[in-house]
Chains A and B, each alone.
Chain A
Amino acid sequence: MTRFAEKDTAITGVGLSDVSRGATKSALALTVDAALEAIADAGLTRADIDGIATWPGERADGSGFSPVGCAALQDALRLEVGWYGGGGEAPGQYGAVFNAIGAIAAGLCRNVLIFRTMCEATARKTAYANSLLREGQRQAGPFSGYAPYYTYAAALQQALFFNLYVHKSGIRPDQVGQVAVNQRRNAALNPKAIYKTPISIDDYLASPLIATPLRLYDCDVPIDGAAAIIVSRMDVARTLKNPPIRIEAIGSSMRYRNSWTQLAELDTQAQPKVAKMMWSRTDLKPADVDIAQLYDGFSFHTINWLENFGFCERYGAKDFIDGGHRIALDGELPVNTGGGAMSGGRLHAYGAVHEACTQLWGRAGARQVKGDPQICATSTSGGPLAGAMLLVRD
């Protein structure tokens, strides 16, 4: 049988800066905080870090979407690395991890520092920076077809996919809203979450419509903050401080049209083939999963992943999340246990990996899932940018 390279890697440490709606520190300072915490958590020193990776790499466009790249962090920490990699042309946010797995397998490095930094909260106070498309500039690239149609944010283009899903599945707003309610309930127990005041389904239904059927409480929260993880070669991982969290299986690739308009199935996006690839690389099954950190740029993504990972049937998520009991901390599949991006803040699936490891190491305090969870499914993004990882405590 093929020996999949991810099985020779593990997450050995995690770090998280202060997460806020307006940081007093620079983006680079936040990144250094997260990176040093992750290195120390793994029981390593800066001298042990021989690779760096990030997604999507530095974008010096003032938007705060990705203000720090590998070079800036390498210089700040004065690392000596054998390999580094950033860039947005990867299968979603976890592309940085998948590239690191390849680099480790190639013998280029042993301990890779992977980070994601966002300073969108500050950017939006200082410049109009929340658009996919800038007024007054002619737009090239994947969103150019949307350019003339007032498609100012990902919310609009994702609402297209979400509305089709609602039309096909018949899910009700009070069922969709269970994702937001669940995550706020979990966030209330997470000291680093942005929004901790509980909300009810009535609050959800009263929140403003952004673009039908997407409401304010379906959206993640722009923040200032940084998350970091250390991915190590397995033989190294087993000599370190924490029980390794094995990267049991990954799903990525482009087995679909990589397009924001021409995906074969708009209402499931790229997720089904990514999930299928992940399950093809492990003997584990959906029923084995203890907890799930499912991408929640919008609540629609989380709902979609429940189906595409196989936790319930196609268009069966409405019943799975109805009432919110099964996805709660004490339910059969606790979902987005730290509050996710919708209440915890948008760290683009790296907040989700941080929370996955926190739970698998039993460090989640008041929100710790009972019963010693050992297996966590995690995922990224919507549209064609799908990626997935199955994480297992050694």
Chain B
Amino acid sequence: MVARTLPAIDRDNEAYWTWGREGKLAIHRCAACEYFVHPPVPFCPRCESRDVAPRAVSGRGRVVTFTINHKAWVPELSEPYVLALVAIAEQDDVRIPCNIVGCDADKVDFNMEVEVVFEQTEDLWVPLFRPVTA
């Protein structure tokens, strides 16, 4: 595959893209009311607390929706591959764009249970998800 394009890192999203170094998926969470805030912002829209900070979650989730890409958008882009939105197990409205790896593209389905794995690219650890086995 071609190299992954990477996101620009700022104070709010740094944990999300780097905690994978320790094998942890970091999602911002309100310490006061336990609401997860994503994309990461240090403000809770539910209780207005500013005590919101990255916290490691289980890394488990479900496939909300997905698509199988068939087009070679750039040279050497091997296809097909799966682009998905995964809802984290802790809160269903936190949705993470990702690729589903570790299974054939045609095995991916709605509501499939998945778990996070990380792929280091440069100084970032990109969250990907694979089917939960067992």
Contact = CB atoms under 8 A, between A and B. Distances in A.
Interface residues on B, range: 35 or more
B117 interface: no
A277 to B, nearest CB: 22
A173 to B, nearest CB: 15
B83 interface: yes
Interface string B84-125: 110000000111111100000000001000000000010010
Contacts of B43: none
Contacts, number: 120
A175 interface: no
Nearest to A146: B97
Interface in A238-287: 259, 261-262, 264, 266-267
A168 to B, nearest CB: 9
Contacts of B97: 145-146, 149, 151, 261
21 contacts: A134-B5, A135-B5, A135-B74, A138-B9, A145-B7, A147-B4, A147-B5, A150-B4, A150-B73, A150-B81, A150-B83, A152-B73, A152-B77, A156-B69, A159-B67, A163-B66, A163-B67, A164-B110, A211-B70, A261-B95, A262-B95
A139 interface: yes
A151 B2 CA distance: 12
Classify chain A: how many residues form its interface, as a range: 35 or more
B56 interface: no
Nearest to B69: A211
Given A148-B5, A149-B98, A210-B71, A160 B65 contact: yes
B7 A139 contact: yes
Contacts of B4: 147-150
Contacts of B70: 208-212
Contacts of A210: 69-71
B65 A130 contact: no
A146 B97 CA distance: 6
B38 interface: yes
A388 to B, nearest CB: 25
B85 A156 contact: no
Choose among B68, B83, B124 the residue with the greatest number of A CB atoms under 10 Å from its CB: B83
B99 to A, nearest CB: 5
A167 interface: yes
Contacts of A151: 83, 97
A135 B2 contact: yes
A252 to B, nearest CB: 21
Contacts of B7: 138-140, 144-145, 147-148
B111 to A, nearest CB: 10
B134 interface: no
B30 interface: no
Contacts of A320: none
Interface string B59-83: 0000011111111011001000101
B86 to A, nearest CB: 10
B23 interface: no
A187 interface: no
Contacts of B33: none
Counting chain A CB atoms within 10 Å of each CB, which of B2, B8, B67 scores highest?
A: B67
A59 B124 CA distance: 29
Given A135-B74, A150-B99, A164 B6 contact: no
